[in-house]
Structure 1
Amino acid sequence: MANMRKRMVALSAAAALAVTLAACGGGDSDGSPSSDGGSGDTGAKGGTLQYLQHFPFESVDPQRIYYGVELANFRRTVYRSLVGFPFDNDPKVANAPVPDLATDTGTSTENNKVWSFTLKDGIKWEDGSDITCEDFKYGASRAFADDVLTGGAGFYLKSYLDIPTDPKGGSMYKGPYRGDGQELFDKAVTCDGKTITYHFNKPWPDFPLSVASLMATDPYKESQDHGDKSKWTIFSNGPYKIDGNTWDVDKGATLVRNDQYDESTDTPDKLRLALPDEIDYQIFTAAEPILDRLVADSDPNAITSARIAPSYFSQIEGPVADRASLVESPYTNYLVPNQKTLTDPKVRQALALATDVNGYIKAEGGDKAGVPAESIINPNLPGYTEQEAFSGSNDGDPEAAKALLEEAGVDMPYPITYTYGQSETQDKTAAILKEGWEAAGFKVTLDPLADTYYDVINQPDKDSDVVWAGWGADWPSAMTVLPPLFDSRTNFARDANGNVTNLGQDYGYYQSDEFEGLIDQAATAPDIDTQNDLLTQADTVLANDTAYIPLDTSVFYWLRGSAITGFMTDAASNSYPDLGPIGVTQ
């Protein structure tokens, strides 16, 4: 189950557009490489790249990293894994892992329940010691120490590794610091010389995709582990190392070249060109000072995690526009009807028909903020198809919606409450949605939440009829979209009497035996193609049940300094500026 941090990045991407919280993308607005050559412009080595960031990182410990901006930055610079996603503007190429620290992309047996990888020769840590199979095994073990190491994406490993659960449903293995159940972990993750093997309790055909996207399986040298105190220290195996070892959460740090890195063990033209001699991270408290500096080009060697806000759109003209890139992101924004209160399918269908998607996008900031979505699965993900249930007018059709409400025989105006995360932008989008719904015969009460959000809408007693949400896949697979959002079995927490106490990400109280049956078949599919076909079928069940109403795929607008070469974004998973090909000319 994906955690709150990923969801909050998606929420911030749309609900807080005005303050341009960090987001992602890949290529120019037409999908071609950037005007400076994109991945085709390899640039030259040398110089200092400035990375201007408008919020602190969550952690620099690989097993605690989950924010997309951290994954995009550290995977190309200080941390390597078994396999990685190549930088490329073509999503099909970018979504296909290539070997990194392993000799190949893995070998599976027992119907994808067992995966093995053999390590390359000559791979080293920054102190010159060899990276071993035991380092990978120890890194995976840290994912189970959730009493010490908070955050990260270790929940996937805890779900899949073949380790028994305790009476409370948790893993019998409690991580390397306590050591309880160590013998169980030692059976699930084994080393034979340079070969590491993972034994899972169910098929995991896209395991290499998860390894390339996330860091839970990254190697970690046990002698360098100080538990929670390792949160801000970096022990590198990549082309850079941190200058001074410790990251300052409020100020950042400078990365310098790691003299123990051997590019002959890497695939530079696919994974990390490592062009700048140094990368200087600077942390700001807001996006506006960063955007002001970039518009003025006072920092020609700079890139940023801050998107261009709508208030700056008018300034992106002439030479400034030559330094901007408009790209589609992995994030989909959507609405969730409450299945407990909107029990009549025709009422939910009417709500979908009356949804003015184009008006919503215009209120967000127009085509520089989003493009209409026709599924909750991102168009760049395998398993995507345009769902016929959402293929009508993106302007909404209030008259057709009103006819459905009349067929349903409900009293009109039909009262509904719409809950969303409050911001200046989202207040505008809510007003647009309300106008379309009320033209169709609904009576809308707006319910903006100013402070907390997801921890409120996942409560069963929340009096919402429809809520806003946003989501991005953890790796290029709809298995990280549909089950985390709509499988009631993994989402609903229940008390001793079987009463639902928390909805998880299934905010609309959705439950379908047909849908969950398809998810079970997908989870045990013998290959990825079969899995994707089953997931497409499951998405169609959701669409026909109006379990969600897609709004838009977020578009991210990036600005960079004039001395930046090879600018592109991570097309495979998180879509932040990709440090693999980026360089500077001065």
Structure 2
Amino acid sequence: MFKYRKRVFAATAAVALAASLAACGGSDSDGDGTSSAPTSDEKGGTLNYYIFAPIEHLDPQRVYVGRDITNLSRTVYRTLVAFPVSDDPEVANTPVPDLATDTGTSEEGGKSWSFTVKDGVKWEDGQPITCEDFKYGASRVFATDVITGGPNYILSYLDIPKDDTGLPAYKGPYTGEGQELFDKAVTCDGNTITYHFNKPWPDFPLAIAGLHMMDPYRQDKDNGDKSNFQIFSNGPYKLEGSWDKATGGTLVRNENYDESTDSPELRAALPDSIVFDIGQTTETIYDRLIQDSGDDQYAITSQSVPPPYYNQIEGPVADRSVNVDSPYVYYLLPYFRSEVMKDPAVRQALAVSTNADAYVAAIGGDKAAGVAESIVSPAVVGYQENPAFSGSNSGDPEAAKQILDDAGVQTPVKITYTYPSSETNDKAAAALKDTWDQAGFEVTLDGLGDTYYDVIQKPTKDSDVIWGGWGADWPSAITVTAPLFDSRPNLTQNSDGQDYGAYDSDEFNALVDEAQNASDLDAQTAALQEADALLGEDYAYIPLTITKFYMLYGSKVTNYTTTPASNGYPDLGAIGVES
């Protein structure tokens, strides 16, 4: 059995900064995701899910936002093993069989894992899900020029030789280059799939349950990049019609889903339909949820309460609120392809003049977030305060100005700061700009109002400093610093992957290799802590905050929960509505 204390997912939504605000009192939640919502196992009705910014990926191999990973897991995408719905973290963080008959068999000290696909599981068109579907799904991750933006762990772990670029010699199913190498690394024997790794992966079932990169995919349904907003379901729901990136879509019941092959601990599938309503501002969403009339009584949201609305969350309204810890760390990234940011003195001056205290105040004060001392969350094994950021949190413009003067840098240093725009985020960006400008920078604020991560992943972006957010895929720093800064699987011709700042360090990559090949947890932790310290010395990132979520739901919503397995967001595996 594979367990850990507090599981968190990778990546937060592009607008999560605006949505990461803590309760100021009045919530019935004790921080574990439970609420005072009525409980019911009644099926039927329509649940409305209000989201501000467009969802960037519905393709299982590309989705890498915690909210979306969970939503898709509970509704349309099943995988080999999954995390159950539970208020008990010990239960919620222990994978159970989903499409597989058990939680897997490991050999060779964790370098080989086998799973057998259940009989009777089907796609939405009634065809059976096969071992070959799982094999094809994994193969898509290797098409780094097409399937961009998703988790790429298997590029480093699967036992496939590397080419001169440091990437696997297998280039994915669209070109077929190196196909024979992939066929040796992933094999099918009847309905049993076996993955062969080049290093131990003892917690591989956690990676399967926490991400969609190992999901099955039908080859005849694959349209490459055009599949990004298509859903071909094997879960209790399917997409009705098409998905509109700007406005959302509706999930309805999948008639070829067999409830007997699933478990209610994974998916209660209570509503008859789930409407994803995209595009309303956070303020509009909360005007509607507070008023609680009509369809809004049957609504939930991924947005957190904006600070100006805090005083409205009281009395009966507060009874419909939750206050949960967020696993996410928000941070800044100097863009190493930017000419100005190639100068280490400029990066250091930027860090020294960053006013994290003012940033926290702008997003709602100490009830909204605390200042981070590392890109690694304190809840993660291997956490330590990064020495580079252990000083004042209020920024020191004079010290930063002196750093620039000593290095002979001509001021003002013109920089562009790219971040996801919202009313709250714009205020937070202005707070950062204030002390940066005092330090000798001339800052242009570049707030993006549409999609975000798909923009900052482009190597051609016109940025100098970039906002980012991240939560560990499972509670080890190996799922934070390695996927964010290991240039080898990230930096390709068409994408910067999760390495948004295009950081490229052989010394750091060697420490990642040391951690991934470590014989025990202590040795792995030591290598990862050294790697984080190196990131601090290079000012490869600047930590900002650790946040909380403060959310409201409609009065006709039942079983409202945000268990650890749903990373602080509403869990569609449990939630229903009164009908």
Same fold (TM over 0.5): yes
2:499 is aligned, of 489, 500, 505, to: 505
Alpha-carbon shift at residue 524 of structure 1 (Å): 1.2
* Distance (Å, rounded) in 1 between the aligned partners of 2:319 and 2:519: 47
Alpha-carbon shift at residue 76 of structure 1 (Å): 0.3
Residues 425, 97 of structure 1: CA spacing in aligned structure 2 closer, same or farther, 3 A cutoff? same
1:580 alignment counterpart = 573
* Distance (Å, rounded) in 1 between the aligned partners of 2:350 and 2:245: 44
Residues 202, 360 of structure 1: CA spacing in aligned structure 2 closer, same or farther, 3 A cutoff? same
2:262 is aligned, of 260, 266, 272, to: 266
Deviation string 1:437-487 (CA, Å, 9 cap, x unpaired) is 788xx43432323459987899899895xx353231461242232124444
SS in 1 for 2:317: helix
2:285 is aligned, of 290, 298, 304, to: 290
SS in 2 for 1:330: strand
What is the aligned-residue RMSD (CA, Å)? 4.3
Residues 573, 475 of structure 1: CA spacing in aligned structure 2 closer, same or farther, 3 A cutoff? farther
2:555 alignment counterpart = 562
Alpha-carbon shift at residue 315 of structure 1 (Å): 2.9
Query: Could you tell me which amino acid in structure 2 is paired with residue 142 of structure 1?
Result: R
1:518 is aligned, of 508, 511, 515, to: 511
Contact 1:367–1:555 (8 Å) recurs in 2: no
Q: How does 1:170-209 map to 2 (within 5 A)?
A: 171-209=168-206
Deviation string 1:238-296 (CA, Å, 9 cap, x unpaired) is 2223345x445455443333344344433322x22222233233344544443322121
Query: Could you tell me which amino acid in structure 1 is paired with residue 305 of structure 2?
Result: I
SS in 2 for 1:74: helix
Q: How does 1:229-240 map to 2 (within 5 A)?
A: 230-240=227-237
Residues 457, 577 of structure 1: CA spacing in aligned structure 2 closer, same or farther, 3 A cutoff? closer
2:377 alignment counterpart = 378
Q: How does 1:118-517 map to 2 (within 5 A)?
A: 118-145=116-143, 150-151=147-148, 153=150, 155-165=152-162, 171-225=168-222, 230-243=227-240, 246-269=242-265, 271-284=266-279, 286-298=281-293, 299-336=296-333, 340-343=342-345, 348=348, 355-387=354-386, 390-391=389-390, 394-395=393-394, 419-421=416-418, 423=421, 425-426=424-425, 428-433=427-432, 442-450=439-447, 467-473=465-471, 475-476=473-474, 477-487=476-486, 505=499, 507=501, 511=505, 513=507, 515-517=508-510
SS in 1 for 2:206: helix
* Distance (Å, rounded) in 1 between the aligned partners of 2:460 and 2:126: 54
Residues 182, 253 of structure 1: CA spacing in aligned structure 2 closer, same or farther, 3 A cutoff? same
Alpha-carbon shift at residue 388 of structure 1 (Å): 5.8
Alpha-carbon shift at residue 133 of structure 1 (Å): 1.5
Residues 221, 445 of structure 1: CA spacing in aligned structure 2 closer, same or farther, 3 A cutoff? closer
* Distance (Å, rounded) in 2 between the aligned partners of 1:165 and 1:228: 24
* Distance (Å, rounded) in 2 between the aligned partners of 1:129 and 1:223: 12
* Distance (Å, rounded) in 2 between the aligned partners of 1:280 and 1:506: 32
* Distance (Å, rounded) in 1 between the aligned partners of 2:502 and 2:252: 48
Contact 2:81–2:98 (8 Å) recurs in 1: yes
Residues 462, 128 of structure 1: CA spacing in aligned structure 2 closer, same or farther, 3 A cutoff? closer
* Distance (Å, rounded) in 2 between the aligned partners of 1:183 and 1:285: 48
The normalised TM-score by structure 2 is: 0.79
2:70 alignment counterpart = 72
1:3 alignment counterpart = none
Alpha-carbon shift at residue 80 of structure 1 (Å): 0.6
Alpha-carbon shift at residue 362 of structure 1 (Å): 0.6
Contact 1:254–1:278 (8 Å) recurs in 2: yes
* Distance (Å, rounded) in 1 between the aligned partners of 2:446 and 2:240: 42
Alpha-carbon shift at residue 361 of structure 1 (Å): 0.4
Alpha-carbon shift at residue 488 of structure 1 (Å): 5.5
Alpha-carbon shift at residue 37 of structure 1 (Å): 6.0
Are 1:551 and 2:544 counterparts? yes
Query: Could you tell me which amino acid in structure 2 is paired with residue 267 of structure 1?
Result: S
Contact 2:134–2:216 (8 Å) recurs in 1: yes
Contact 1:368–1:557 (8 Å) recurs in 2: no
SS in 2 for 1:103: coil
Residues 547, 141 of structure 1: CA spacing in aligned structure 2 closer, same or farther, 3 A cutoff? closer
Residues 525, 92 of structure 1: CA spacing in aligned structure 2 closer, same or farther, 3 A cutoff? farther
Residues 284, 503 of structure 1: CA spacing in aligned structure 2 closer, same or farther, 3 A cutoff? closer
SS in 2 for 1:539: helix
SS in 2 for 1:300: helix
Query: Could you tell me which amino acid in structure 2 is paired with residue 579 of structure 1?
Result: L
Alpha-carbon shift at residue 197 of structure 1 (Å): 0.6
Contact 2:104–2:113 (8 Å) recurs in 1: yes
Alpha-carbon shift at residue 389 of structure 1 (Å): 5.5
Moved more, 333-342 or 302-311: 333-342
2:524 alignment counterpart = 531
Query: Could you tell me which amino acid in structure 2 is paired with residue 581 of structure 1?
Result: A
1:57 is aligned, of 51, 55, 58, to: 55
Are 1:13 and 2:16 counterparts? yes
Moved more, 134-143 or 285-294: 285-294
* Distance (Å, rounded) in 2 between the aligned partners of 1:328 and 1:80: 27
Deviation string 1:161-181 (CA, Å, 9 cap, x unpaired) is 333455666554444455444
SS in 2 for 1:479: helix
Alpha-carbon shift at residue 301 of structure 1 (Å): 1.0
Percent identity reads: 53
SS in 2 for 1:75: helix
Query: Could you tell me which amino acid in structure 1 is paired with residue 316 of structure 2?
Result: P
Contact 2:98–2:262 (8 Å) recurs in 1: yes
Residues 313, 239 of structure 1: CA spacing in aligned structure 2 closer, same or farther, 3 A cutoff? same
Residues 289, 360 of structure 1: CA spacing in aligned structure 2 closer, same or farther, 3 A cutoff? closer
Moved more, 89-98 or 184-193: 89-98
Alpha-carbon shift at residue 564 of structure 1 (Å): 1.3
* Distance (Å, rounded) in 1 between the aligned partners of 2:358 and 2:499: 26
* Distance (Å, rounded) in 1 between the aligned partners of 2:530 and 2:85: 31
The normalised TM-score by structure 1 is: 0.78
Moved more, 167-176 or 178-187: 167-176
Query: Could you tell me which amino acid in structure 2 is paired with residue 568 of structure 1?
Result: T
Residues 184, 434 of structure 1: CA spacing in aligned structure 2 closer, same or farther, 3 A cutoff? closer
Alpha-carbon shift at residue 427 of structure 1 (Å): 5.1
Alpha-carbon shift at residue 431 of structure 1 (Å): 4.9
1:498 alignment counterpart = none
Alpha-carbon shift at residue 199 of structure 1 (Å): 1.6
Gaps of 5+ in 1: 1-5, 495-500
SS in 1 for 2:527: helix
